[in-house]
Amino acid sequence: MNSALRGLIRGLVIAAVAALVVFAGFYAVHWLDGGKQDGAGVGEVSIGGPYALTDQNGRAVTDKDYRGKLQLVYFGFTSCPDICPTALQTVAIALDEMGAAAAKDVVPILITVDPERDTPPVMKEYVQAFHESMIGLTGTPEQIAAAAKAYRVYYQKVKLPNSSLDYSMDHSGFLYLMSRDGKYLAHFRHNATPEDIVKRVKAAL
């Protein structure tokens, strides 16, 4: 096989893999939302599961540490330019709108998809900027991959050759509402409002 043919085949394989990645991300969004365009969705789906990570204080934790409270779980990263901070700010506003009595039964959790940069001290500074009750979780790449798989979260490193950041993270952007025993209750899309979250959370309290 000559070099030109090998190059052509390699190019076709790379293009096919890239197409599958894009399709997988689209399918995950479309499947989870059922094609709806509102800010939230519910249904019997297999989302969530056990994980072992490290919180913003350097403490080893598992999903069982947050049982007994509703959980608002979001996968993102601290260097995210817009989607992540917007989502976390929406959560923070929702928590404040619930009032102290309701908010004490809800744990907002950010799980990073960029463990290379998001160490516990970085996570601590970041989550505290949004809300005093927010938890930031990081871990090894393998631990993050396991947690993301449990929540059916897509993420991928994207190189930025002309940026001082070197790379960014492409990822799905759902906010998950989990029950007191860690079961999926609902999810919210990026266009969800604080009122959407408050309504759904209060119904689950």
What per-residue confidence (pLDDT) applies to 101? 77
pLDDT digits over 130-163, tens only? 999 999 999 999 999 999 999 999 999 999 998 8
Give the mean pLDDT of 33-52.
65
Average pLDDT estimate for 27-43: 45
What's residue 100's pLDDT? 84
CA 14 from chain center: how many Å? 27
Helices (H), the chain: 3-33, 83-98, 100-103, 120-128, 141-150, 194-204
pLDDT attached to residue 41: 53
- The pTM for the full model equals 0.79
User: Residue 63 in contact with residue 51, Cβ under 8 Å?
Assistant: yes
Alpha-carbon span 108 to 53, nearest angstrom: 15
Q: Please give the structure tokens belonging to residue 166.
A: 């070197």
Q: Is the pLDDT at 68 greater than 90, yes or no?
A: yes
Q: What is the pLDDT of residue 55?
A: 98
